Amino acid sequence: MPGTTFIQILKQQASRRPQGLAYRCGDQLWTFADVERDTNRIANALAALGVGAGDRVAALTKYHVDTLLLTLGAAKLGAVCMPVNWRLAPTEVQYIVEHGGAKLMMADRAFLPLVNLPALPTIQQVVVTDGAHDSLPAWREWFGAASDQFQAVDAKPEDPMLQLYSSGTTGLPKGVVLSHAGLIFNCQLGEGVWKVDEHSVVGNALPTFHIAGATMGLFPLYAGAVGSSYPDFDPGAFIDAIGQHGITHTFVVPAMILFMLQSPKIKQGNFKTLKLMSYGGSPISDRVLTEAMAAFGCGFMQVYGLTEISGSATFLQPEDHQTTGPKA
């Protein structure tokens, strides 16, 4: 895909395959045309709120597709999306949102107690992903009333698109600003290494606020593949989803692999479509890896990456995952 920004890439995918399935979450489906239309509406709704180039919008949600839609809609204005860690304490959420100066907060109803609006003067609007709550409008109704026609800004590859926050190991969390170019390069790298194309189905059960979860949302759009989203990881349900949704590629952390191996469903799982299970984020034991390779019967790839470089840095290829011989 030749686009130099995700705005261009989305427009090209929507023009080339308007009715092609782009994303799935539960029983909800989005075609590429749907994504283009919804992000135009989001851009118009944000513009009416006064959001413009350089402004920030925050996402406090488990939902990958809604986060992606907000990210792309904001990008069409030159604004930047800040996915926020919903596992943080209210004071930590307040610090991040205040630090970024977000004008809009998109939040799941379960996370509204983390949002102390009186302490967040920059927030002009809160919208709720899973339905209206008190005086707060439902996210999709809020943007759904806006026009689906929008002329996006002439974004440059170096323009910012995402702002993720570090864990703050040595102090307060730090905002890491990621550009279209950096995120596209990560997708180009992944496309070559993973061998993903428009026939692939990419399963994403990682947190929206993590670099891996964020890039796993963008990756299918870049490759023209299907992004299959699982906001709440459940080992047995994810095993079922691999067969039901024909997942070909996924990225997990070792703990998720262990939980799936411990699930009673692992022995009945249908993994015929699964080509590659990438993993990273923490060490994996020889036992867990060996058992996983036997259970899933697909290629395994270890990935090391970091937020500051927009994702992946190094890969241990499937051919290097050997249980016998000199490389074992």
Per-domain boundaries in the chain = 32-179, 180-320
pLDDT at 242 over 70: yes
Residue (of 264, 319, 313) closest to 293 by Cα position: 319
pLDDT at 325 over 80: no
Q: What is the pLDDT of residue 324?
A: 77
Task: Name the band, by pLDDT with cuts 50, 70 and 90, for residue 15.
Answer: very high
Mean pLDDT of 298-315: 96
C-beta of residue 214 within 8 angstroms of C-beta of residue 208: yes
pLDDT at 36 over 90: yes
Q: What is the pLDDT of residue 144?
A: 98
pLDDT tens profile 216-236? 999 999 999 999 999 999 999
Which tokens is 77 given?
A: 């204005």
Judged on CB neighbours under 10 Å (0-12, 13-18, 19+), 166 is middle
pLDDT tens profile 78-98? 999 999 999 999 999 999 999
pLDDT at 2 over 70: no
Pairing of strands 56-60, 175-179: unpaired
Question: CA–CA separation, 148 vs 41, rounded Å?
Answer: 5
Residue 114 is classified by DSSP as G
Residue (of 140, 150, 125, 8) closest to 66 by Cα position: 140
pTM value surpassing 0.75: yes
Q: What is the pLDDT of residue 327?
A: 67
Quickly count: other Cβ atoms within 10 Å of residue 323's Cβ.
11
pLDDT at 13 over 60: yes
180-320 carries CATH number 3.40.50.980: yes
Q: Please state which architecture CATH assigns to domain 32-179.
A: 3-Layer(aba) Sandwich (3.40)
Task: Name the band, by pLDDT with cuts 50, 70 and 90, for residue 328.
Answer: low
Q: How far is the CA of 249 from the CAs of 184, 245, 278, 298, in angstroms?
A: 18, 11, 8, 10
Q: What is the pLDDT of residue 321?
A: 95
Question: CA–CA separation, 63 vs 83, rounded Å?
Answer: 11
Identify residue 28 by its one-letter amino acid code: Q
- Answer yes or no: same fold for 32-179 and 180-320: yes
C-beta of residue 4 within 8 angstroms of C-beta of residue 180: yes
Mean pLDDT of 95-106: 97
pLDDT at 309 over 60: yes
Identify residue 263 by its one-letter amino acid code: S
C-beta of residue 217 within 8 angstroms of C-beta of residue 205: no
pLDDT tens profile 250-294? 999 999 999 999 999 999 999 999 999 999 999 999 999 999 999
pLDDT tens profile 160-192? 999 999 877 788 899 999 999 999 999 999 999
Give me the DSSP letters along 200-252. -EEEE-S-TTSHHHHHHHHHHHHHT-EEEE-SS--HHHHHHHHHHTT--EEEE
**Alpha-carbon dihedral sign for residues 143, 146, 151, 154:** negative
